[in-house]
Structure 1
Amino acid sequence: MTGETVATVHWRALDREGEDKCRLARVGEGWMLVGHARFRDDAGFAALDYVVRMGKDWLTRSADISGTYGDATVGWRIVNEGGWFLNDAPQPQVEGAEDVDLSFTPATNLMPLRRLPEVGRLEVRAAWFRLPGGVPEPLDQAYRRERGGLVHYTASSGFETQLVVGPDGFVETYPGLWDVTDG
């Protein structure tokens, strides 16, 4: 089921050659992100398609990533169902995570941004899926809403930045990494 599209976004990478196109769809009582990331990194060219499913509470239920990365055909299924699983293997290291964070796209910041109160702060743990490697790791994140569509973001990895967030909840500017494009 593809659902009813409620928003679309197209980003260009600022730190490398690449782009990402994503749409947000309402599916039944939940939500779904469907995206296509294309980029070049140290492993070579990547063409990754992803689908992330969330409940009506904006918490991640599952994510599927498939395509090519470097010279390899890849496929991962991440499920949050009474614990986290990667291709059916338990992932106890990310126990307690609420969301998946796919490192190759800004799309997965949408879930905590949608849960972020109008005034205040949100602290979450994400199952951080990075390439190369493809094994989720815990990543503690904090989002604090500021004026003018700005959100202060910090992560336990030591990363900190000021995100520009659009009315649909998608990141529009991720300084040094991603920017929304019209193309």
Structure 2
Amino acid sequence: MSATSAATAADRDIVIDLRDVETRFGTHVVHQKLCLQVRRAEVFAIIGGSGSGKSTLLREMILLHRPDAGSIKVLGVELNDLSPEAALDLRLRWGVLFQHGGLFGSLTVLENIGLPLREHTRLGNKLIDEIAAWKLHMTGLKPEVGAQYPAQLSGGMMKRASLARALALDPELLFLDEPTAGLDPESAAGVDELVL
């Protein structure tokens, strides 16, 4: 294998590539010259104190906030100047578990899990419900939880239900924003084990 083809193979293995990312809110500098790479099949954690920019960085990587400078590539796609169509295509390739769950309170857990499938596929309702039930099972929740509403769930159950929704479209990449925040040690250990 030549050095060029080895470098190309290594580049294909990179799923997140940040170069010189800078983020400011007014005069407050959140990120300055931030660089990092995440490789395929790698579990990568960003750790820092409250207000250190972890959630801001996640929002930049999932196209919810634009950095002031630098380059962000996710799954080989440069995020700057994406068309709305290209941005949607890219978003369908990842799943996100938001810090506070992000489940819709007016939908049951099963309806929340099935929502991405209803919005972005042409699958029938019966098949969507079956897939949603399977994703619920994958996260260790009992079938009856699917009929409950988010307000009826404990913190650990909420995280697991949110993870099931993040997995609904079988994403290539999974973003987790503080997946164990606010959980007791046993529930946090369970979510950590589930992620691994």
- The answer to whether TM tops 0.5 is no
Question: TM-score, normalized by length of structure 2?
Answer: 0.31
More strand by share: 1
Select the structure with the greater relative contact order (CA < 8 A; seq sep ≥ 6). Answer: 2
TM-score by length of 1: 0.33
